Structure 1
Amino acid sequence: MKITCKNCGHIFEGRYCNHCGQSANTHRIDAQFLWEDIEHGLLHYDKGILYTAKQLFLKPGYVIKDYIAGKRVHHFRPISLAIVLATLYALVYHLTHVNLIVKGSENSEAIFEKIIEHYYWFVFITIPIFALSTSLFFKKAGYNFWEYFIFEALKVSQRLIVHILFLPIILLLNHPSSTDLIIKSLLIVDIALIFWTNLQFFHQFPKFKIFYLTVFSYLLYSFITTVLLILFMLIFFKV
């Protein structure tokens, strides 16, 4: 049966247009269309967020390594995943009014509020910093900066999932000492996840070498981020 593609006008046979790739089953937008779009994007096993998230906690380093090598059809796009998760984090934060601020200086509290308010931008800023730090210390691995960008985007997504899961716990406990303990514990969890993922991704290197290179790259990331935050304070808060 001949089908005229609604996207490019090309006449074709089969399930997909052989000129632009659009599906032959392209019908009018209705409630069913919206549900299929949500279901496919978020829940579909082959390309959904849940599938990629699951893999990031089963064998993260190997999964990311395969993704960079070209095995991508079953995964949600890394940058889109980071955006969705960062937005979800900020949304949960605002809707629940969970208090993540441990009392300190007014400037530090204001900065934290600004970061949460625009959390997706903060995530985007930190991904290239992570990528730069990792690429400098693991340059012998043979990857370019943009491949490290994807590597770090998926690692950030992994950590965002953990932080999102802990937001309800912080809200439930609702006590400054508990919040402080959880935030410090999450920092340890973050570092552990970074080590675990790096050990798998750079498995061709000796484990001790991966350990100290990870430490150095994380310290460089922390230094650059701290400098940027200080500049942010100087510009916007007149410290």
Structure 2
Amino acid sequence: MGMHDNDHCINCMRAVTGPEQKFCPGCGQPTPARRIDWGYVGHELEHGVLQMDRGLLYSLKLLMLQPGRLLRDYIEGRRGNQAKPLLLLTVTAAAVVLLSRFFLDGGVLKAVSMDPATAVDAGSAAAQRMARLVAASQAVAGWINANFATFTLLLLPIEAGVRWAVFRRYSRLNYPEWLVISTLLVSQVFVVWMALLALHRWLPQLLQWVALFAVAYCVFSLVQFFQGRPPWQTLWRALLAELLFMVIGQVLMAVAILALVVLG
């Protein structure tokens, strides 16, 4: 993929004078560009959140209009004008939290508000079990609302792992590369989420609409990313990865709720 070319900058193709030149004088791109591996991911975790990048708006624009190009440029090493993926994720997640509190008069997720006494006789064993289940659901939703960025980061390795497993025989991308791709795709979801928040009065099932647009945008992005491949081959793998991740997410939520019911 040309990431380790010592003679030219992969981002602007300007000639590199020698191994002592660590950055391109034309665009600031590191020379040579590193492949994304565990060392690269560790460096991004250390510096990505603390260092603001002037490429933020540029990356957001590409992420929504030409996502395949953005993903391909970042994976292949053309990162000189790009914002850090972790920065994009942090900024967009924070924006979703703030806008949700402003537009929805609450947090990102709505806690369960059902009154168990209306479904069964108050004081019965069934009512008590239902009350514990509702309380546990509210506690989980409340924790997610209060720790939305942390919750997103906790799920990100699972999301990347699912895509790596589904696409393992289809591409030569390693897990850290899928981790970066998934970080960018989650940032994309948050941008969609922000746009739909403005329409929340006409979208009573907001989270379902977000999920629908997120899946569609993810498939669109990966089909663009794997240009030159038959689109249908990318499409079914992308849909399968989204389905598996949704199932895993629901299972983890259910486990957390049941654990609170048992421990409570």
Same-fold call, TM cutoff 0.5: yes
What amino acid does structure 1 have at the position aligned with 2:151?
F
Q: How does 1:215-234 map to 2 (within 5 A)?
A: 215-234=239-258
Greater fraction of residues in helix: 1
Match of 1:119 in 2: 148
Q: Check whether the contact 1:102–1:179 (CA below 8 A) recurs between aligned residues.
A: no
Once the two structures are superposed, what CA deviation does each residue of 1:21-67 show, in whole Å capped at 9, x if it has no partner? 9xxxxxxxxxxxxxxxxxx947x4xx2x2111000012101211110
Give the CA deviation at 1:79: 1.2
Q: Check whether the contact 2:111–2:137 (CA below 8 A) recurs between aligned residues.
A: no
- From 145, 158, 162, give the equivalent of 1:129: 158
- From 77, 98, 101, give the equivalent of 1:94: 101
Match of 1:28 in 2: none
- From 67, 71, 78, give the equivalent of 1:64: 71
Give the SS at the match of 1:212: helix
Q: Check whether the contact 2:215–2:239 (CA below 8 A) recurs between aligned residues.
A: no
Moved more, 204-213 or 94-103: 94-103
Q: Check whether the contact 1:82–1:157 (CA below 8 A) recurs between aligned residues.
A: yes
What amino acid does structure 2 have at the position aligned with 1:60?
P
Give the SS at the match of 2:233: helix
Q: Within 2, Cα distance between the matches of 1:127 and 1:56?
A: 18
What amino acid does structure 1 have at the position aligned with 2:224?
Q
Q: Check whether the contact 1:195–1:214 (CA below 8 A) recurs between aligned residues.
A: yes
Q: Check whether the contact 1:56–1:158 (CA below 8 A) recurs between aligned residues.
A: yes
Structure 2 residue runs of 5 or longer lacking an equivalent are: 1-19, 24-50, 115-133
Structure 1 residue runs of 5 or longer lacking an equivalent are: 1-17, 22-39
Give the CA deviation at 1:97: 5.2
Match of 1:155 in 2: 185
Match of 1:78 in 2: 85
Match of 2:43 in 1: none
Give the SS at the match of 2:94: helix
Match of 2:29 in 1: none
Give the CA deviation at 1:137: 1.1
Once the two structures are superposed, what CA deviation does each residue of 1:159-203 show, in whole Å capped at 9, x if it has no partner? 101112322432xx2xxxx44333322221111101100101122
Cα–Cα, structure 1 residues 20 and 132, in superposed 2: closer, same or farther, change >3 Å?
closer
Moved more, 130-139 or 197-206: 197-206
Q: Within 1, Cα distance between the matches of 2:228 and 2:249?
A: 29
Give the CA deviation at 1:103: 5.4
Give the CA deviation at 1:207: 1.5
Match of 2:210 in 1: 186
Give the CA deviation at 1:95: 4.8
Cα–Cα, structure 1 residues 226 and 65, in superposed 2: closer, same or farther, change >3 Å?
same
Between the aligned residues of both structures, percent identity stands at: 23
Q: Check whether the contact 1:93–1:167 (CA below 8 A) recurs between aligned residues.
A: yes
Q: Within 2, Cα distance between the matches of 1:219 and 1:79?
A: 24
Is 2:232 the partner of 1:208? yes
Q: Check whether the contact 2:203–2:209 (CA below 8 A) recurs between aligned residues.
A: no
Cα–Cα, structure 1 residues 104 and 204, in superposed 2: closer, same or farther, change >3 Å?
farther
Using the size of structure 2 for normalisation, the TM-score is 0.65
Q: Within 2, Cα distance between the matches of 1:151 and 1:134?
A: 10
Number of residues of Structure 1 aligned to a counterpart in Structure 2: 194
What amino acid does structure 2 have at the position aligned with 1:124?
L
Cα–Cα, structure 1 residues 97 and 183, in superposed 2: closer, same or farther, change >3 Å?
closer
